[in-house]
Amino acid sequence: MKITRTALLASVAAAILTAATSAASAQAQVARTLEQVKSRGFISCGSNPGLAGFGMPDDKGTWAGLDVDLCRAVSAAIFNDPNKVKFIPLTAKDRFTALQTGEIDVLARNGTWTQSREAELGLLWTGINYYDGQGFMVRKKLNVSSALELSGASICVQQGTTTELNLADYFRSNNMKYEVVAFATSNEAVKAYDSGRCDAYTTDASGLYAERLKLVNADEHVVLPEVISKEPLGPSVRQGDDQWFNIVKWAHYAMLNAEELGVTKANLDEKLKSPNPEVRRLLGAEGDFGKALGLTPDWAYRIVQHVGNYGESFNRNVGEGSRLKIKRGLNNLWNKGGLQFAPPVR
Amino acid sequence: MASRASGAYLRTSVSPDLPPPARVGGPVAWVRENLFGGVLSSVLTVLSALFLVWVTPDLIRWLFIDAVWSAPDGEACRAPGAGACWAYVRAKISFFAYGSYPRDLLWRVDLTLLLGALLAAWLLWPGARRKGLGLLLFLVAYPILAYNLLHGMADSLRAVLRGLADVSGSAALADVAQNALPVVGTNLWGGIFVSLLVATVGIVVSLPLGVLLALGRQSSAPVLRMVCVVLIEVVRGVPLITVLFMANTMLPLFVPEQWSPDRLMRPLIGVAIFASVYMAEVVRGGLQAVPKGQFEGAMALGLTWRHRMALIVMPQALTTVIPGIVNSFIALFKDTTLVAIVGIFDFLRAVDTQRLDPEWAGPSISATGYVFAAAFYFVFCFAMSRYSLMMERRLARGHAK
């Protein structure tokens, strides 16, 4: 008797849970995101509460960063205004829930694109706006120019992360010895490295550049060129709304195409008169390529006008124009030795 | 008489008291008694003094002498030998205080905080009059006003104003109804003002709700008692972080988007409920300390239950547990930092975020930010504890020892 009652209770609870979740997701799918966004008057963008160069509010509370620029680009394409964005700071734990439940329209929060996240969480990555990967930082005076010369080194690392695992794999597969010095937080690991406790510090390359700024003498340290793991970072959207997926995807591609074609914030109006058909199609001088996306013909023009091309955004937020001074590396355009490639607008 | 008065051996006044012997009074005695009272005490005194001598000069040098007081960016703070970077705190102070709240609307936050401070002073000042009116304003009028100021004018108020404008035909009023106090979403709120908001809501809700829960727990109605006991034990049995995660990660999964409360509202409700159940247990302790004779005496006077509680029992119970209540408030004030883990820029989170700013990032930035945060929390908590001590002394006059 008791068992049946428990079972009954459990099944009722389960039924309520499933009903509630399926109602929520069904409702999220039926609604067309673009129409919702237009009637609401702004897009909701899930962002990192604070990651130097990628997304954080400045001292006036204005958000800036590479990920932030992507949201601004989408806003510029839809509203001709880069500021119609509501940034919702999300922690690593509640970011995907917020996207699944429709609380945000796009998640631009340095999320790593993995198979399980797309397949299990019902999300789609629209692209990769930053190719990241685990790297090493060493002191310049060690005279090391490659991670392969780090055999026998002691390496500071944050405990219990995939970082530690990647480190072990890399050294084992290259038959090198090393001594791992693990710390509970990245802050402690950096402090230990700075005080000379280890020869090298390892984490994701973008993090290395940000951490380097905190060191006593930032100029005495160098980030090695090797990247030993794949961390493709990009914005993601919910499955089930292909139009919205396309808009976010092409906002990124428009910025890449603009850079490839040499269109910048400064020479935008000049380029509008360019005879180059690719430029003319991108900027909407020829054809109406925005229409099928649900946008205006000058959608890409608006993006470059308000946000700039990918190179400009990269340079301003994380590259030479910022204190992070991250090299383009893998994030260079495909025709300049990098991986950033955008399909053409035609 | 005259001859006796002129007698040279007679004193005309009482001789003045002699000072106590140096061994029991004066600074030397104080030092001997308090600092060198025994071997252990002497050793500890010497060690503490050495520790202070060792630490203080460096600390003062870092905090004040080598500190960078003003600079346009982090360059000067990164120079070798530079101490605390107060210039960074100065540059970021508006973010620390207001988060991303639109800079041209800051007067709305300032006004709300000022009114809140004035009302709080009215209520907390021991000699103030008409506290009943103050309490009514603070608990009813102030929250409504604060909502309209901080968040923006409520739609209902707009509708009322629009109606008035239609009736009076005043264009100015119609304009006010349309445009005054535009909405500022809670995603822009942050900093000290959010910390104070969370703490104030927690404190203001928890005291009355805690009293009610404590009374409910002692009630003779079984259903009411069960509800209170279950609520208290369940909420007390889970960590605040769990409550916050449930509110921000799980709740949206079960509730359709348009019904789910605002992202700031969720932790506010969580913190308020959490603080209330702790308060309930503190108040229950106070109730148990009131002797049974007080209940019986009140009953013998023919007072109703409400009067017995309001006039006889509660004043004694609450006075007894003032330290416990203030302890809860202080703990709550510091617990407000936990809302950071659900993505709210409270004061500590604001400090934590801004130290990553590439313009300023440097070896001394984190320490400076955290010292500033520690000083802020200390000032508030210390003030609370001093105030409670003063109230205790005032209220305990009746049974002073």
The answer to whether residue A343 scores a pLDDT higher than 90 is: yes
Rounded CA separation B80/A217 (Å): 8
- Is the ipTM higher than 0.95? The answer is no
Cβ of B95 and A61 within 8 Å?
Answer: yes
Instruction: Provide, as residue numbers in chain A, all residues whose Cβ is less than 8 Å from the Cβ of B259.
Output: none
Instruction: Provide, as residue numbers in chain B, all residues whose Cβ is less than 8 Å from the Cβ of A21.
Output: 253-254
Cβ of B356 and A187 within 8 Å?
Answer: no
Rounded CA separation A32/A237 (Å): 13
| Top-confidence residue, A194 or B254 | A194
Containing A258, the helix (H) or strand (E) segment is helix A242-260
Q: Is A146 helix (H, G, I), strand (E, B) or coil?
A: coil
Task: Tell me if chain A has a CB within 8 Å of the CB of B359.
Answer: yes
pLDDT tens digits for A277-332?
A: 999 999 999 889 999 999 999 999 999 999 999 999 999 999 999 989 998 989 99
The answer to whether residue A23 scores a pLDDT higher than 60 is: no
Nearest chain A residue to B88 by CA: give it: A59
Give the pLDDT band (50/70/90) at residue A175.
Answer: very high
CA-based nearest distance A322→chain B, Å: 7
Contact B35, B45 (CB under 8 A): yes
Rounded CA separation B105/B110 (Å): 9
Cβ of A57 and B185 within 8 Å?
Answer: no
Nearest chain B residue to A90 by CA: give it: B343
Residue whose tokens read 């008692």: B225
* Rounded mean pLDDT, A23-52: 78
Cβ of A57 and B345 within 8 Å?
Answer: yes
Rounded CA separation B44/B36 (Å): 9
Task: Tell me if chain B has a CB within 8 Å of the CB of A17.
Answer: yes
CA-based nearest distance B41→chain A, Å: 37
Task: Please state which of the ranges A113-117, A296-300, B179-183 shows the lowest mean pLDDT.
Answer: B179-183
Cβ of B187 and A89 within 8 Å?
Answer: yes
The answer to whether residue B60 scores a pLDDT higher than 70 is: yes
Give the pLDDT band (50/70/90) at residue B127.
Answer: confident
Q: What pLDDT score was predicted for residue B401?
A: 47
The answer to whether residue A217 scores a pLDDT higher than 90 is: no
Of B96, B64, B91, B93, give the one whose Cα is nearest residue B75: B91
Q: What pLDDT score was predicted for residue B24?
A: 74
Q: What pLDDT score was predicted for residue B345?
A: 87
Residue whose tokens read 């074609």: A261
Q: What pLDDT score was predicted for residue B169?
A: 80
Nearest chain A residue to B356 by CA: give it: A52
* Rounded mean pLDDT, B214-233: 93
Q: What pLDDT score was predicted for residue B74?
A: 83
Written as six digits, the tokens of B3 are: 């001859």
* Rounded mean pLDDT, A145-158: 92
Of A27, A213, A215, the CB nearest to B358: A213
Average pLDDT, chain A: 88
Written as six digits, the tokens of B13 are: 């006044």
Segment 86-105 of chain B within 8 Å of chain A by CB:
91-92, 94-95, 98-103
pLDDT tens digits for A200-216?
A: 999 989 889 988 888 88
Give the pLDDT band (50/70/90) at residue B361.
Answer: confident
Q: What is the DSSP secondary-structure string of B108-146? A: HHHHHHHHHHHHHHHHH-TT-S-HHHHHHIIIIIHHHHH
Of A59, A102, A194, the CB nearest to B91: A59
Distances (CA, A) of A151 to A154, A198, A200, A220, A270: 9, 13, 11, 21, 54
Of B243, B201, B193, give the one whose Cα is nearest residue B350: B193
Average pLDDT, chain B: 88
Give the pLDDT band (50/70/90) at residue A18.
Answer: very low
Task: Tell me if chain A has a CB within 8 Å of the CB of B24.
Answer: no
* Rounded mean pLDDT, B7-14: 76
Domain spans in chain A, listed from the N-terminal domain onward: 31-131+231-336, 134-223
Instruction: Provide, as residue numbers in chain A, all residues whose Cβ is less than 8 Å from the Cβ of B250.
Output: 97
Residues contacting B319, CB < 8 A, separation 6+: B286, B392, B395, B396
Task: Give the torsion sign (CA, A318, A319, A324, A330).
Answer: positive
Looking at the DSSP bridge assignments, the partners of residue A180 are: A155
Give the pLDDT band (50/70/90) at residue B124.
Answer: confident
Rounded CA separation B135/B117 (Å): 13
Written as six digits, the tokens of A81 are: 């205004």
Q: What pLDDT score was predicted for residue B257?
A: 67
Q: What pLDDT score was predicted for residue A310?
A: 97
Instruction: Provide, as residue numbers in chain B, all residues whose Cβ is less than 8 Å from the Cβ of A23.
Output: 256
Task: Tell me if chain B has a CB within 8 Å of the CB of A214.
Answer: yes
Rounded CA separation B20/B29 (Å): 11
Task: Please state which of the ranges A16-25, A105-114, B39-48 shows the lowest mean pLDDT.
Answer: A16-25
The answer to whether residue B3 scores a pLDDT higher than 60 is: no
**Taking the model in full, what pTM does it have?**
0.82
Q: What pLDDT score was predicted for residue A86?
A: 93
The answer to whether residue A14 scores a pLDDT higher than 70 is: no
Instruction: Provide, as residue numbers in chain A, all residues whose Cβ is less than 8 Å from the Cβ of B352.
Output: 50
Single-letter residue type at A332: N
Give the pLDDT band (50/70/90) at residue B16.
Answer: confident
R_g over Cα of chain A: 23
Q: What pLDDT score was predicted for residue B7?
A: 58
* Rounded mean pLDDT, B89-116: 93
* Rounded mean pLDDT, A6-13: 49
Cβ of A216 and B363 within 8 Å?
Answer: yes
Nearest chain A residue to B89 by CA: give it: A59
* Rounded mean pLDDT, B60-87: 89
Task: Tell me if chain B has a CB within 8 Å of the CB of A90.
Answer: yes
CA-based nearest distance B353→chain A, Å: 5
Cβ of A52 and B358 within 8 Å?
Answer: yes
Q: What pLDDT score was predicted for residue A19?
A: 46
CA-based nearest distance A111→chain B, Å: 16
Q: What pLDDT score was predicted for residue B6?
A: 57
Task: Please state which of the ranges A20-29, B82-91, B218-227, B263-272 shows the lowest mean pLDDT.
Answer: A20-29
Give the pLDDT band (50/70/90) at residue A20.
Answer: very low
Residues contacting A158, CB < 8 A, separation 6+: A164, A182, A183, A184, A185, A186, A189, A203
**Percent of chain B surpassing pLDDT 70:** 96
Q: What pLDDT score was predicted for residue A5?
A: 52
For A294, left (φ over 0), alpha (ψ -120 to 50), or beta?
left
Segment 312-351 of chain B within 8 Å of chain A by CB:
341-345, 349
Segment 50-89 of chain B within 8 Å of chain A by CB:
78, 80
Cβ of B362 and A214 within 8 Å?
Answer: yes
Rounded CA separation B286/B289 (Å): 5
CA-based nearest distance A215→chain B, Å: 5
Task: Tell me if chain B has a CB within 8 Å of the CB of A339.
Answer: no
Q: What is the DSSP secondary-structure string of B252-280? A: HHHS-GGGSPPTTHHHHHHHHHHHHHHHH
Burial class of A18 by CB neighbour count within 10 A (0 to 12, 13 to 18, 19+): exposed
Give the pLDDT band (50/70/90) at residue A22.
Answer: very low
Of A59, A87, A93, the CB nearest to B95: A59
Nearest chain B residue to A318 by CA: give it: B358
Residues contacting B307, CB < 8 A, separation 6+: B298
Single-letter residue type at A289: F
Instruction: Provide, as residue numbers in chain A, all residues whose Cβ is less than 8 Å from the Cβ of B95.
Output: 57-61
Q: What pLDDT score was predicted for residue B187?
A: 86
CA-based nearest distance A327→chain B, Å: 16
Task: Please state which of the ranges A3-7, A47-51, B131-135 shows the lowest mean pLDDT.
Answer: A3-7
Burial class of A145 by CB neighbour count within 10 A (0 to 12, 13 to 18, 19+): exposed
Task: Tell me if chain A has a CB within 8 Å of the CB of B255.
Answer: yes
Strands A130-132 and A134-139: unpaired
Give the pLDDT band (50/70/90) at residue A268.
Answer: very high
Which CATH superfamily, name and number, covers A31-131+231-336? Periplasmic binding protein-like II (3.40.190.10)
The answer to whether residue A273 scores a pLDDT higher than 80 is: yes
Distances (CA, A) of B63 to B70, B83, B85, B200, B371: 14, 6, 9, 31, 9
Of A21, A213, A217, the CB nearest to B253: A21
Nearest chain B residue to A95 by CA: give it: B249
Residue whose tokens read 């445009």: B179
Q: What pLDDT score was predicted for residue A49?
A: 85
Of B91, B253, B356, the CB nearest to A101: B253
The answer to whether residue B269 scores a pLDDT higher than 50 is: yes
Say if A31-131+231-336 and A134-223 have the same CATH topology: yes
Centre a 10 Å sphere on the Cβ of residue B230 and count the other Cβ atoms it contains: 10
- Chain centre to alpha carbon of residue A271: 29
Fold (topology level) of A134-223:
D-Maltodextrin-Binding Protein; domain 2 (3.40.190)
Task: Tell me if chain A has a CB within 8 Å of the CB of B182.
Answer: no
**Percent of chain A surpassing pLDDT 70:** 91
Contact A222, A138 (CB under 8 A): yes
